[in-house]
Structure 1
Amino acid sequence: MTSEPGAPAGGAMTHLRRHCESVSDAMAAAAGDDRAFGPAELDHLESCLRCRVELSRYRRLMDAMCLLRETSAPEDARLESQILVHLDRYGHRWAWERKPRVAATVAAGAAAAAGVLAFTARHRRAARLAS
């Protein structure tokens, strides 16, 4: 079994992937300005295309986050009043639709509890008569 010239051997590929994982963690920290790259990580970035692409994506993401932080969202003066009108219009209907459902749930729970109590009382009475 021969490999292509210049292709890394299996052990070298595993070592490269492990190094990519450690550099990936360093890139995440460096993107958040928590720390800078070390010399070994910089050497790896020079030779690994996949890690350079990932670093480029981190940089673009951080640039976009900075732009979002600097721009302000336009305020709509009518938005608050529209929300309040909508809540007034539909909020009361929601309460009336929910009351029967809540009442039915409570009634079913009470009936189930009464059934359990009746069953245990009957079971105890039968056990007392049997002994």
Structure 2
Amino acid sequence: GVHNRIVLLRGTYPELLKCKRPRFKHDEDKFIRKNARTMTGKQIGEYLGRDRDSVHNRARYIGVSMKKYGELLPFTRIPDDDVHLIRELRDAESPRRLTFREIGEKFELSESTVNFIYHHRRTAEDVVLRELMP
């Protein structure tokens, strides 16, 4: 009863009885899906006229991750191409396998940093593959 009355009154007086939190539209969901990897929640919220938290909650609800990886992070120091090269140098068997120390000297990085990059650093491509895998 109350819901039907509110719907009727909002139809009659739309400027007086606005929704506090309007529902997300299909176009807004598409925009969130398209830009989740490149824009922050605050930027998406400003574009859609919504709060950052509501954008994050909606993204979680529709199954979209707002997490950035690789070169898409604003504070990334090592490009994804260098990450791929470090992994190739470490995995190469043809003259010999390079150690983390030798790779670090080539890139002017510490041995522990190269070790972390090799084992744990995610690239933008890894995120796409992760989303496509079941």
Report the TM-score when normalising by structure 1. Answer: 0.28
Q: Work out which of the two has the higher radius of gyration on C-alpha atoms and give 1 or 2.
A: 1
Higher helix share: 1
Bigger relative CO (Cα 8 Å, ≥ 6 apart): 2
